[in-house]
Structure 1
Amino acid sequence: MLSAALLLVVSLTLAWANGSNDVSKGVAALAGSGIATPRAAWLLGVLATLAGGLGAISWGGALGALFGGGVLKSAEGLPLGAALAALAGAAGFVALSTWQRWPVSTTHALIGGIIGAAAAQFGIRDVAYRVVAAKFLIPLLASPALAIGLCWTLLLLNRLVESRLPQWTPGCCAPEDHRKDPFICAAPDRRPSPAARRVWLALHWLSGGAVSFARGLNDVPKMAALMIPALAAWPAAETTASGPALAIALTSFAMTGGALMAGRRLLPVLAQEVSTMTPTTGLFANLGTAFLVLGATPLGLPVSTTHVAAGSIIGVRVADKAPPRARDALRTILLAWLVTLPAAAAFSAILVVLGA
């Protein structure tokens, strides 16, 4: 019972760390383009992520089953102690990354934790590497490349849209006001109706909310999957019967707590230090992210929302042919992508060895 309680606590800690590290990724384009203030964008991300997490009770079963087992040749899933080490290794690395302002992937950290714990518990040869590569690594590696390509394609449409929008001219208005509402510089007879302008702004808010909703829908089942053994060990039969739904609900609320307490720490990194965004480039970056993540979740494809969102923002930068800057977060993001999985695997393996 003590091990089950520890597993439950560590699962919730990982969800808290995920919320603190990931909430800004869904609304970075919204804040970076100037459509919303950082505070408003952050609050939208918190609420939409919670809604997506709770929505995973109905739509996240495929991902929950995927992360619940299948990485071992001789066993169905990790025993309680190894699952505890896997979660603790992932949670420790994500929390450290948030403190260092590294936008890392909780999905990568969780997979690394599972592999490291499995290898330390059963031996390297007992890990089903082909299964891990086919079901986990290939979708994860493909997702940022797809995001960059899709966002770059969408930006071709963006250029057509921007060419038809009123351009800023000196003395017309403040540049930041034009970024929020380009129609402010149009001649009175060329301005769209107030309703059309409200729809234009609403599209940006909806796109940011869609990305955050997709993140909750995709991330929560992955973390909840390893919590289910702890709930199954609880003596109340009714708790066992409702284990998956209860695990998803608890994970969603823990993620929301992390987002509220520390979620704004990483927002400036993705909103300002990767690419300079206009309202239309921010809109298309969000649309690309939401399309890929919402499409992958019902199929049980464990794409990394972090990689997809960052990939879309990088797609903006590639399309704009922006050169590196002195304070460039892109190097940090790419380095974090490379380090996350092996670092989390090492953390969890050490915990298994120490607990043996």
Structure 2
Amino acid sequence: MFDSHLALIVLVILLALTFDFINGFHDTANAIATSISTKALRPRTAIVLASVMNFIGAMTFTGVAKTIGGKIADPLSLSNGMVVVLAALIAASIWNLFTWYYGLPSSSSHALIGSLTGAVITSAGFSAVNFHGFISILEALILSPLLAVVAGFTIMTLIKVIFHYSVPHRINRRFRILQVFTAAFQAFSHGTNDAQKTMGIITFALVAGGFQNSLHIPVWVKLSAALAMALGTSVGGWRIIKTVGTRIIKLDPGSGFSADLSSALVILGATFLKLPVSTTHVISSSVIGVGTARRFSTVKWGTAQKIVTAWLVTLPVTALLAGLSYGVCAGIGRLAAAVLL
């Protein structure tokens, strides 16, 4: 006999892993754009490195996953929780593909959080949203880019002071070598935060569907999410690589190193605090901070403005998309139930 409940959770898991895959190639640019643009790494080498380090990072932590799984809404309180997750994933995936196509480094984190919140509201009303948890997540998403600007500015300023009298050719060669390590560090930190979001959304669905009664992250969820992100990373996001690597500032090895190190530190710090942040926001902001330290006029503020605009519209647009997706999914579910009965 056809088990619609089981079929729905399988569909949710497959869509979540698809979102994770899209997130991988959408956000690959964030981890390797600077090292490619400064020629510290060849594109193929950079993508392989990012894939491996993303996988390792994804397998290392689970705190962010539990935050996503329980801080926005209580999955046990939703009567239609699996449909909520399904609608959220559809909306977030649509937005990720749209922004990837146009080369905008928008936030997969904002997309997922906005979509989940919009789907919860449509399903059960505003009272179903844990606004205390939602606001704490929103604060991390807002503060982390500001910290990245400060960190990028500070590290780049220190490098300028320390190596002021050094021969540029020699220093560039050394920083290109260092960039291999900072690119790896950045990809690792990306995995520790971004892959956790998919783990959290799958666990949310498992609890909502009655397949488990706690937010414990099963090993198979960790492994599948880590693999999906690593595979997505291996595809690469060349449109966004061009935006982050060349259209904000013209990077040299020293500034690329500064941007990589500052953003990786901010992302990893958020992971330790179990807070989901946007790796896109953090990395783009660190590049802006580095450019400001070099010379304010070197930053291409027109591109920066487009990126900020994409950041601002992501939450409300994905929330609306998720609301529409929930309506469609719930309607299809009722129609299917009527046909089967």
- Structure 1 residue 73 displacement after superposition: 7.4
Query: In the alignment, is the contact (CA less than 8 A) between 2:51 and 2:230 conserved in 1?
Result: yes
Query: In the alignment, is the contact (CA less than 8 A) between 1:83 and 1:117 conserved in 2?
Result: yes
Query: In the alignment, is the contact (CA less than 8 A) between 1:86 and 1:348 conserved in 2?
Result: yes
- Using a 3 Å threshold, how does the CA distance of structure 1 residues 323 and 208 change in structure 2: closer, same or farther? closer
One-letter amino acid matched to 1:145: L
Alignment partners' CA distance in 1, 2:75 and 2:219: 28
Which of 181, 203, 213 is residue 188 of structure 2 equivalent to?
Answer: 213
SS in 1 for 2:238: coil
Residue correspondence of structure 1 range 221-260 to structure 2 within 5 A: 221-228=196-203, 244-260=218-234
2:109 counterpart of 1:107: yes
Query: In the alignment, is the contact (CA less than 8 A) between 2:88 and 2:116 conserved in 1?
Result: yes
Specify the alignment match of 1:297 in structure 2. 271
Query: In the alignment, is the contact (CA less than 8 A) between 1:24 and 1:42 conserved in 2?
Result: no
Alignment partners' CA distance in 2, 1:183 and 1:275: 17
Which of 9, 23, 32 is residue 27 of structure 1 equivalent to?
Answer: 32
Residue correspondence of structure 1 range 310-329 to structure 2 within 5 A: 310-319=284-293, 320-322=295-297, 325=300, 328-329=302-303
2:8 counterpart of 1:8: no
RMSD, matched Cα: 2.7
Specify the alignment match of 2:59 in structure 1. 54
- Structure 1 residue 220 displacement after superposition: 1.0
Alignment partners' CA distance in 2, 1:72 and 1:209: 34
Which runs of 5 or more structure 2 residues have no equivalent in the other structure? 1-5, 331-341
- Structure 1 residue 96 displacement after superposition: 1.7
One-letter amino acid matched to 1:158: I
Specify the alignment match of 1:187 in structure 2. none
Residue correspondence of structure 1 range 98-137 to structure 2 within 5 A: 98-133=100-135, 135-137=136-138
- Structure 1 residue 235 displacement after superposition: 11
Higher alpha-carbon Rg: 1
Provide, for residues 166-205 of structure 1, a one-character-per-residue CA deviation record: whole Å limited to 9, x for no partner: 14xxxxxxxxxx3xx4478xxxxxxxxxxxx5xx544211
- Structure 1 residue 115 displacement after superposition: 0.6
- Structure 1 residue 93 displacement after superposition: 0.9
The percent of aligned pairs where both chains have the same amino acid is: 27
- Structure 1 residue 13 displacement after superposition: 1.2
Alignment partners' CA distance in 2, 1:214 and 1:325: 27
- Using a 3 Å threshold, how does the CA distance of structure 1 residues 139 and 154 change in structure 2: closer, same or farther? same
Query: In the alignment, is the contact (CA less than 8 A) between 1:11 and 1:87 conserved in 2?
Result: yes
Specify the alignment match of 2:3 in structure 1. none
Provide, for residues 95-141 of structure 1, a one-character-per-residue CA deviation record: whole Å limited to 9, x for no partner: 221122111111111110111001000112432323311x2100100
Alignment partners' CA distance in 2, 1:143 and 1:242: 27
Number of aligned residue pairs = 322
- Structure 1 residue 74 displacement after superposition: 9.6
Specify the alignment match of 1:65 in structure 2. 66
Alignment partners' CA distance in 2, 1:241 and 1:295: 22
- Using a 3 Å threshold, how does the CA distance of structure 1 residues 287 and 29 change in structure 2: closer, same or farther? same
TM-score (norm 1): 0.82
- Using a 3 Å threshold, how does the CA distance of structure 1 residues 262 and 28 change in structure 2: closer, same or farther? closer
One-letter amino acid matched to 1:42: I
Query: In the alignment, is the contact (CA less than 8 A) between 1:42 and 1:264 conserved in 2?
Result: no
Specify the alignment match of 1:174 in structure 2. none
- Using a 3 Å threshold, how does the CA distance of structure 1 residues 232 and 286 change in structure 2: closer, same or farther? same
Alignment partners' CA distance in 2, 1:124 and 1:235: 23
Provide, for residues 194-218 of structure 1, a one-character-per-residue CA deviation record: whole Å limited to 9, x for no partner: xxx5xx5442111111011000111
Provide, for residues 284-309 of structure 1, a one-character-per-residue CA deviation record: whole Å limited to 9, x for no partner: 11111111111110211212111111
Q: Which moved more, 1:93-102 or 1:109-118?
A: 93-102
Q: Which moved more, 1:101-110 or 1:258-267?
A: 258-267
- Structure 1 residue 11 displacement after superposition: 0.2
Which runs of 5 or more structure 1 residues have no equivalent in the other structure? 168-177, 185-196
Alignment partners' CA distance in 1, 2:75 and 2:167: 64
- Using a 3 Å threshold, how does the CA distance of structure 1 residues 325 and 108 change in structure 2: closer, same or farther? closer
Alignment partners' CA distance in 1, 2:261 and 2:223: 27
2:160 counterpart of 1:155: no
Specify the alignment match of 2:334 in structure 1. none
Query: In the alignment, is the contact (CA less than 8 A) between 1:50 and 1:252 conserved in 2?
Result: yes
Alignment partners' CA distance in 2, 1:343 and 1:274: 25
- Using a 3 Å threshold, how does the CA distance of structure 1 residues 46 and 263 change in structure 2: closer, same or farther? farther
One-letter amino acid matched to 1:345: A
Provide, for residues 54-99 of structure 1, a one-character-per-residue CA deviation record: whole Å limited to 9, x for no partner: 22xxx22x21111112324795567111111112211121122112
Residue correspondence of structure 1 range 137-216 to structure 2 within 5 A: 137-167=138-168, 178=169, 181-182=170-171, 201-216=176-191
